[in-house]
Amino acid sequence: MDDIKKLLIILNGKLSDNLESYKSVFKKEKFFVIACDGGFLNAQKLGIKPDLLIGDFDSVGDLEVENKIQFPVEKDKSDAELAIDWGINNGFSEFEIWGALGGDVDHTLFNISLLLKIEKVGKRGRIFHPPLSIFLLEKAGKIIGNVGDKVSLYPFTDVVKNVKVRGFKYPLHGEDIAKGSTRTLSNELIKREGWVEFEKGMILVIMKQVEAHQSS
């Protein structure tokens, strides 16, 4: 585990129908894998053997596995947050989260909000639900994809100041974007790399890959 810096957390939410995209990412990367409770069943569906199970196991019962951390059903954190805490405490720098969407709306929103916890400690996190990738930007950065990919920039703070974007169909040249505005909904890459720059705030990037590149 010492040389593995990427942590894959598989949750109990509904997986995308595009299972091959998950498998493609898994083949390309070297992950330490945590399955959270019913995420174990999602891991099985993808042919992935978890390195560790975390949760209260109210969804799957008492699994007979070697590496398991069990928590009581009544607790102050979700299984997803417990897995992220474990990853932070064990020195992982990148967090990949699968099975975070497609379930109850409250669970989906809280799972997305956990990206903030990862970002606040200087780590990188991504929710992957092909064709969707969701991640946070706390400062200027590149959006890497393919021509035609759809990209929405959701203001994750009340206001994001002086937003500039280039490499997109609809550029911005220094606008303030407030939460509640749809100004930055559904833009489109016109190059393989787009650039997002802003002075203050935080942006949630929701990127939808064009169909031909979903397994890339």
Mark which of 81, 115, 130 sits at the end of a domain: 130
Question: At 107, which helix (H) or strand (E)?
Answer: helix 105-120
The Cα 149–Cα 190 span in angstroms is 8
Residues 77 and 144 in one domain: no
Phi/psi of residue 13, each to 5°?
Answer: -70, 175
Mark which of 130, 154, 171 sits at the end of a domain: 130
185 assigned to some structural domain: yes
Residues 19 and 124 in one domain: yes
The Cα 173–Cα 150 span in angstroms is 19
Domains identified in the chain, total number? 2
- The pLDDT, as a whole number, for residue 155 is 97
- The pLDDT, as a whole number, for residue 59 is 59
Residues 19 and 82 in one domain: yes
206 assigned to some structural domain: yes
Residues 84 and 174 in one domain: no
Contact 138, 119 (CB under 8 A): yes
49 assigned to some structural domain: yes
Residues 101 and 206 in one domain: no
Return the CATH number at 186.
3.40.50.10240
216 assigned to some structural domain: no
Domain that holds residue 159: 137-211
Mark which of 92, 115, 130 sits at the end of a domain: 130
1 assigned to some structural domain: no
Query: What tens-digit pLDDT sequence spans the chain (216 residues)?
Result: 556 789 999 999 999 999 999 999 999 999 999 999 889 999 999 999 999 999 877 655 555 667 888 887 778 899 999 999 999 999 999 999 999 997 789 999 999 999 999 999 999 999 999 999 999 999 899 999 999 999 999 999 999 999 999 999 999 999 999 999 999 999 999 999 999 999 999 999 999 998 755 544
